[in-house]
Amino acid sequence: MAHTSAPSHHPKLSASRLIRPIDSHRCLPEVSLMLHVRPATENDFPSILRVQRAAFGEYAPLYHVSGWTTETIDSLKEDAKTKHIVVAESEGTIVGSVRFWTVGGVCVIRLLSVDPASQGRGLGKQLMSEVERRATDAHKLYACTMLRTPRNIHFFLSLGYRAEALLPDHYDHLDLICFAKYR
């Protein structure tokens, strides 16, 4: 016979305090996935755009993000001529990507994208770590995110980046916050 006990009526242990809504893909513990981070190839471009559309599409209720959700293979090919693109691959599937380039000792980081189903597991951190490892000619790493995205702001702060600039009414009238890390 199983032992059951009556629910606690202790005020500090009420159900409303114990049960909190969860956003499942953001509250997952960081787990060690079989992840391979590597330079992108042209064969990866459709998957990069798929992940990017899904990741930035989440912000559509807050911002006009069509520039990031409607990018074409041709524009990605053009971007790849002047930028490094790194992907995160898990079990043969691209689950994240990031682009970067260095100019005058500043590594500019753009379009960090992690598939929403894989977020909250440390993939973004691994991609950023790879950028930092590869950008050996940079004394400064620089990345911007949308101002009204507390999760993204916390992400960069947790990696040791410091807020450096606000760019109001920037791309497509977005308000951006930019972060820097010096070394």
Domain count, the chain: 1
Distance between start and end Cα atoms, the chain: 63
pLDDT tens readout for residues 58-92: 877 766 666 677 789 999 999 999 999 999 999 99
In a domain, 43, yes or no: yes
2 is a domain residue: no
State pTM to two decimals.
0.79
pLDDT (tens digit per residue) in 85-137: 999 999 999 999 999 999 999 999 999 999 999 999 999 999 999 999 999 99
Residue ranges making up the domain that contains 89:
34-182
* Cα–Cα distance list, 28 to 92, 93, 113 (Å): 21, 19, 17
Q: How far apart are CA 41 and CA 162, in angstroms?
A: 32
Look at residue 28 and tell me whether its pLDDT is greater than 50: no
| Residue 157 within a domain | yes
- At 84, is the secondary structure helix, strand, or coil? strand
- Here the CATH number for the domain that contains residue 103 is 3.40.630.30
pLDDT tens digits, one per residue of 43-59:
999 999 999 999 988 87
* Angstrom distances, CA of residue 34 to CA of 123, 143, 167: 11, 27, 37
SS (H, E, C) 86-155: EEEEECCEEEEEEEEEEECCEEEEEEEEECHHHCCCCHHHHHHHHHHHHCCCCCEEEEEEECCCHHHHHH
Residue 29 counted as domain residue: no
105 in any annotated domain: yes
> Per the structure block, which two tokens stand in for 162?
């410091």
Instruction: Flag whether 18 is in a domain.
Output: no
Judge whether 123 lies within some domain: yes
Q: HSE of 153 in the Cβ direction (CA atoms, 13 Å)? A: 12
What letters, b where the CB count within 10 A reaches 16 and e where it falls short, cover 19-50?
Answer: eeeeeeeeeeeeeeeebebeebeeebbebbbe
